[in-house]
Amino acid sequence: MVEVDELEERAKADVDMAASTAELAAVETRYLGSKGQLQALLRSIGTLPRDERPAFGARVNQAKERITQLIAERRQQLERAEVQRRLESERIDITLPGRPLPLGRLHPLTQTVRQVVDVLSGLGFQFVEGPELEDYAHNFQALNYPEDHPAFDEMMTFYVDDQRLLRTQTTALQGRVMQYQRPPFRIATTGRCFRYEAVDATHHHTFHQVDVFMVDEGISMADLKGTLRQFAGAMFGGDVRVRFRPDFFPFVEPGVDYAIFWKDRWLELGGAGMIHPNILEAYGIDSERWTGFAFGLGIERIHMIQHGVNDLRLYLENDLRFLSQF
């Protein structure tokens, strides 16, 4: 029995001495292996008197369990320490910049259009597309522009031939929609427009607009004001107020210019009004029963207000210093 106690003591000392998992494995083999010391001890059981044998066997097994447990504990200790050392050796400079992965962004105008579409979709407006290469009939005639009228002074137009032109306003879509659509409807469109203008920080011959119009029973200027407030509030944030000022556009009557009160100032956003009954009637819509409103504004203007951009020209210059800011 003494040998077992001694062996256990030695094993304990060796386990404690093992400095690595490899050394520990050697200790394990030395004591617990099939040719190990414990096994040898067990084999010597035959030399003992028969009645001592059970107690000896039990003692050896107890020692085996103890040593096994000691080794397991020590192994866990050593492994943890080894992982610790490895992790320590793998330390890097985490303040170095990350790998620059490819990153594309959407153009600010696309982002703004997306926001406009989201807000107006929520208000029940269906977006449709119209051509940029329009015809005189849709861009002017259908919108109640009399021939040779001074209203054309504000609509300097690029012509391709006598009939075809580059649309000066996305409102050109109204007639295209009313050709097939019966009320009630809520329609919106976004797109590129062109006007024969000299380019500066606030004017461009190429720009983008959103145009919105709806026709239903009992639609009034109050609905227009409420819709504008909802729209402007969603686009610019906060509780905005809407102000109307009389203005003239051949396709609306009454016609207004609308402004919103935002961040302590009035911002003029665009034109609006009640769809002219001449237009409804031209498409066979009973203007007595159905009334509607229309409003429009510039996509660039929305983005400029949202972000404080001060030069309209930046939108078509594609300078990464500008594009990467949004």
Partner 1 sequence: MLLPLEWLREFIDVPMEPEDVAYRLTMAGLEVEGTEDTIGGAVLNIKVTPNRGDCLSVIGIARELAAAYKLPLRIPERIGALDPGDAAQYASVTIEAPDLCPRYAARIIRNVRIGPSPQWMQRRLEAAGMRPINNVVDVTNYVMLETGQPLHAFDYDRLGGHCIVVRRAAPGERMRTLDGVDRALPEGSLVIADQRVPVAVAGVMGGAESEVNVRTRTVLLESAHFNPASIRRTARLLNLRTEASYRFERVVDPEGVAAAADRACELIAQVGAGEPVEGILDVYPGRKPSRFVEVRPDRASLLLGFPVRTDEVTDVLARLGFTVESPGGKDAVKVEVPSWRPDIVREVDVVEEVGRVLGYDRIPERLPRGATLQGGPSDLERFLHKVRTLLAGLGLQEIVSHSLLPEDALDVSWDAGDRVAIRNALSAELSGLRRSLLPGLVDALVRNARRGQGPLAFFETGRVFSRHGDEFRERVHVGGILCGPISPAGWQRSAPPAPGDFSTAKGLVEQLFNVLRLPPPKFVQACDARLHPGRSARIVAQSGTVGWVGELHPEVSPRLRSKERIVAFEVDAEALKELADERVEFRPLSPFPAVERDLAPRVRADVPFGAVEEAIRHNSPAILERYELIDVFAGPPLPEGVRSFTLSFTFRAPDRTLTDEDVAAALEQIRSALEQTCGAVFPT
What residues numbered 301-320 form the site for partner 1, per CB under 8 A? 315-320
Q: Which is nearer to partner 1, 57 or 122 (CB)?
A: 122
Nearer to partner 1, 148 or 264 (CB): 148
CA angle 253, 256, 262 (to 5 degrees): 155
The answer to whether residue 75 forms part of the interface with partner 1 (CB under 8 A) is no
Among 214, 260, 269, 302, binds partner 1 (CB under 8 A): 214
| Shortest reach from residue 15's CB to partner 1, in Å | 45
| Burial (CB count within 10 angstroms: exposed 0-12, middle 13-18, buried 19+), residue 315 | buried
CA atoms of 268 and 249, how far apart (whole Å): 16
Cβ neighbours of residue 263 under 8 Å, at least 6 residues apart?
none
Stretch of 44-52, 56-64, 83-91, 104-112 lying at the interface with partner 1 (CB under 8 A): 104-112
Residue closest to 303 by CA, chosen among 290, 284, 316, 288: 316
Instruction: Single out the residue of 214, 216, 215 nearest to residue 231, CA to CA.
Output: 214
Nearer to partner 1, 226 or 237 (CB): 226
Q: Is 289 in the site for partner 1 (CB under 8 A)?
A: no
Binding partner 1 by CB under 8 A: which of 34, 222, 264, 265? Answer: 222
Regarding 164 and contact with partner 1 (CB under 8 A), the answer is: yes
CA distance 143 to 290: 17
> Binders of partner 1: how many residues, by CB under 8 A?
95
Question: Which of 6, 200 has the CB closer to partner 1?
Answer: 200
**Interaction of residue 219 with partner 1, rule CB under 8 A:** yes
Binding to partner 1 by residue 140, rule CB under 8 A?
A: no
Pick from 35, 50, 86, 99: which binds partner 1 (CB under 8 A)? 99
Q: How far is the CB of 198 from partner 1 (least distance, A)?
A: 8
Query: Which string of DSSP letters, residue by residue, matches 271-309?
Result: EEEEEPHHHHHHTT--TTTEEEEEEEEEHHHHHHHHHT-
Of the candidate residues 160, 200, 201, 289, the single one contacting partner 1 (CB under 8 A): 160
| Near partner 1 by CB under 8 A: residue from 47, 87, 101, 264 | 101
Q: Determine, following the binding rule CB under 8 A, whether residue 279 of this chain makes contact with partner 1.
A: no
Does residue 265 touch partner 1 according to CB under 8 A?
no
Q: Residue ranges of the alpha helices (H) in 123-199?
A: 136-139, 173-178
Q: What is the DSSP letter of 23?
A: H
- In the bound state with partner 1, the residue whose beta carbon lies nearer, of 23 and 223, is 223
Q: Which range of residues in 16-24, 48-56, 174-182, 254-262 is near partner 1 by CB under 8 A?
A: 254-262
The answer to whether residues 269 and 259 touch, using CB atoms and an 8 Å cutoff, is yes
Told to check if 282 binds partner 1 by CB under 8 A, we report no
Stretch that binds partner 1, among 14-22, 26-34, 82-90, 270-278 (CB under 8 A): 270-278
User: For residue 266, which phi and psi values (nearest 5 degrees)?
Assistant: -90, 130
- Distance CA(6)–CA(31), nearest Å, equals 12
Torsion of CA 202, 127, 226, 252, to 10 degrees: 70
Q: Is the peptide bond before 254 cis (omega within 30 degrees of 0)?
A: yes
Residue 169 and residue 202: Cα distance in Å, rounded?
Answer: 17
Q: Applying CB under 8 A, which of residues 50, 91, 265, 321 lies at the interface with partner 1?
A: 321
Closer Cβ to partner 1, 21 or 185, answer by number: 185
